[in-house]
Structure 1
Amino acid sequence: MRIAVTGSIATDHLMTFPGRFTDQLIADQLSHVSLSFLVDDLEVRRGGVAANIALGLGSLGLTPLLVGAVGSDFAEYRAWLHEHGVDTESVRVSRTRRTARFLCMTDEDLNQIAAFYTGAMAEAREIDIAGVAERAGGLDLVLISPNDPEAMARHTTECRELGIPFAADPSQQLARLGAEETRHLVDGARWLFTNEYEAALLRERTGWQREDVLARVGTWVTTLGASGVRIDRHGRDPIEVPAVPTEKATEPTGVGDAFRAGFLAATGWGLGPADAARLGCALATTVLAATGPQEYTVKPSGLLADIEAAYGEAAARRISPKLETL
């Protein structure tokens, strides 16, 4: 399966606050918040939603095409992605801007406060999906993940015009999108990915009810954190898949990206949505135990052990043939 992953490519600056954000918020003072948090550590890691997902797909044996815009400071990051099976030939390098920056602070409850500097990502709107497809000899799926909003809209339009199936993952950019922009990104998607909060925000933005959304997409996949995943399809009962339990929750950045990588890899292997969600949950738990969204190693035996423990021997047996070839 030839997948192009469009979206952000960034450097993550990850900080840990040894307390709870909620303890610092005073209910009757929320109209003029002014807070500064003293953090214990700072980790600088490779990140960006599209790069995280692409690395996950590459680590599972696919050769995804990463599509996004970066600065001239990308050379070392490019080499890292190549080592993990990612095709970066469709990445645009800006002459004037630096690669995007993600600044994120996590408290002891794994709540996060974050900011994102766009940088070179603003030039992603100049990338032509038709050119990417031509270079690749055709595309089976384009994932449209958080990116420059104009780039997201352009890539979606191009997929429709070219007849290329696409997956919509508006995620953090829902906060920047209006009603028509959100509807444009969702309508006709083969897959729609959100977390539970984003699902509610998407309904608020579009003015659509759950059934309205399901009538416009193939499958709606909603991650529920520690509760797992819900998969909705129009006219069919939801599929609920519990999360893979873990005793080591280190840092949540990139966990949702890992889920998407596992889910799409399994889908590309021909597995059904429930098994795809199981692999996605197992990979997400692997990332949750690491600091940073790409600081993990895919170990097929470990993933299969987690899948068998969480979902049973039959599920592990269905997934194992592909993992064992890695």
Structure 2
Amino acid sequence: MRIAVTGSIATDHLMVFPGRFAEQLIKEQLERVSLSFLADRLEVRRGGVAANIAFGLGLFGLDPILVGAAGVDFAEYDAWLRANGVDTTAVQVSDHLHTARFVCTTDEDQNQIATFYAGAMAEASRIDLAAIAERTGAPALVLVGADDPAAMLRHTATAHRLTIPVAADPSQQLARLDRNQARQLVDGARWLFTNEYEAALLLERTGWTEEHLLGRVGTWITTRGEAGVSLAGSDTPTLRIPAVLTDEIADPTGAGDAFRSGFLAGTAWNWPQEQAARLGCALATTVLESVGTQEYKLSPSDLVTRIDQTYGSDAARALEAQLARVS
């Protein structure tokens, strides 16, 4: 099962503020915020939601197709992704814009304040998913991640027209979508990914109730940090998967993307949803323990150990044979 991953390709500028954002906010002055946080660490890393998810799938040996727009500075990043199993032939490289920038500051409570500069991502709407499918073969699934909104809408419509299943992952772009756009992006999705905040925002943006939205998607997957993950469907009880906990959190950036990589890898191997979500949780924790979204090493034995410790030996054995085949 080959997966096309659409969305942002970016360079991450990750900073750490040795304090709490909440202590700097004055309730009576929230309409006129003017704050500066003195960070004590800066890491410049590769990122972007589509590139992060594709990177994880590449490490699992699934040969994902990365679909997005990058800038004139993409050559080194391109080589890195290809070396880690990602097909980058569908990436559109701008002839004058730089690759998108994600600038994020994290406080000691793991809260984050971020700004995203689109750069070359603004050209993503020019990408023709149908032409890519014709050239490389139709993928078994298209993940539509945060990207230029016009590109997200175009990729979603094209995938539905080609009868390719869609995994909707609007995440950071929800704030920019109007009601009609939000509905178009999620309606008919086989999988819908959000975190807790995005789940509430999605209901506000679509104007749908939770019950109505569940009737229009296959499975709605919500990541809940330390509380784990929930998987909800219209005709099945909500499935709750505990998180794989750790005391060694280095940086939360990219954990959600890693969960998606692990979950989609399990889906590609035709695993039950519960098994796929367990793998996603284990990989998310691996990323939590490293700085940067693509700096982790994928160790099948480590993933099996984490799954064993969190979900039990039966769960570990159910995944071990497939993970053992990951080089």
The answer to whether TM tops 0.5 is yes
Written as runs of structure 1 = structure 2, the 5 A alignment for 1:127-276 is 127-276=127-276
Q: Match of 1:25, as an amino acid?
A: L
2:90 is equivalent to residue 67 of structure 1: no
Q: Which residue of 1 aligns with 2:46?
A: 46
1:322 CA displacement: 1.2
Cα separation, 1, equivalents of 2:41 and 2:246: 23
Quote the Cα distance in structure 2 between the aligned partners of 1:111 and 1:129. Answer: 36
Equivalent residue for 2:102? 102
| 1:48-87 deviation line (CA, Å, top 9, x unaligned) | 0000000000111110000000111000000100111000
Unaligned runs of 5+ in 2: none
Quote the Cα distance in structure 2 between the aligned partners of 1:321 and 1:130: 35
Cα distance in 1, alignment partners of residues 120 and 201 from structure 2? 27
Once residues 61 and 324 of structure 1 are traced to their aligned partners in structure 2, the CA distance between those partners, rounded to angstroms, is 12
Letter in 1 for 2:102: F
What corresponds to 1:277 in structure 2? 277
2:286 matched residue in structure 1: 286
1:138 and 1:217 map into 2 onto residues whose CA distance is: 22
* Equivalent AA in structure 2 for residue 8 of structure 1: S
Q: Give percent identity, aligned residues only.
A: 63
Structure 1 counterpart of 2:300: 300
1:6-63 Cα distance to aligned partner (Å, 9 max, x none):
0000000000000000000011111111001111011000000000000000111110
Residues of 1 paired with 2:30 and 2:270: CA distance?
Answer: 49
Q: Distance in 2 between matches of 1:162 and 1:300?
A: 35
Counterpart Cα distance in 1 of 2:260 and 2:109: 23
* Amino acid corresponding to residue 287 of structure 1 in structure 2: V
SS at match of 2:110: coil
Task: Give, in whole Å, the separation in 2 of the partners of 1:299 and 1:190.
Answer: 29
Give secondary structure in 1 for the equivalent of 2:18: coil
Match of 2:320?
A: 320
Aligned CA-pair RMSD: 0.6
- In the alignment of these two chains, the number of paired residues is 326
Q: For the residues of structure 2 that align with 1:178 and 1:205, how far apart are their CA atoms?
A: 6
Q: What's the TM-score once normalised by structure 2's chain length?
A: 0.99
In structure 1, distance between residues paired with 2:319 and 2:118: 38
Partner SS for 2:108: coil
How far has the Cα of 1:136 moved from its partner?
1.9
Amino acid at match of 1:138: A
CA distance in 2, matches of 1:255, 1:141: 21
| Secondary structure class of the residue paired with 1:221 | strand
Q: How does 1:113-128 map to 2 (within 5 A)?
A: 113-128=113-128
Match for 1:264: what amino acid?
L
Q: CA deviation at 1:125?
A: 0.3
Counterpart code for 2:155:
H
Secondary structure of 2:74 counterpart? helix
User: Please, which moves more after superposition, 229-238 or 130-139?
Assistant: 130-139
Q: Deviations over 1:243-301 (max 9, x none)?
A: 00101011000000000000000011010111110000000000000001001000000
Name the SS of the counterpart of 2:240 in structure 1: strand
CA distance in 2, matches of 1:210, 1:29: 34
Q: For residues 77-92 of structure 1, what are the structure 2 equivalents within 5 Å? A: 77-92=77-92
Structure 1 runs of 4+ off > 3 angstroms?
none
SS at match of 2:123: helix
* CA displacement at 1:319 relative to structure 2: 0.8
- 2:35, 2:179 → 1: CA distance? 32
* Counterpart residue number, 1:21: 21
What is the aligned partner in structure 2 of residue 4 from structure 1? Answer: 4
Question: What whole-Å deviation, never above 9, does each CA across 1:182-208 have from its counterpart, x for those lacking one?
Answer: 000000000000001100000011111
Matched residue type, 1:133: A
Give 1:159 shift.
0.8
1:301 corresponds to which letter in structure 2?
Answer: S
Q: Secondary structure at the match of 1:15?
A: strand
Tell me which amino acid in the other structure corresponds to 2:225: G
Distance of 2:140 and 2:97 partners within structure 1: 31
Alpha-carbon distance, 1:236 to partner: 1.0
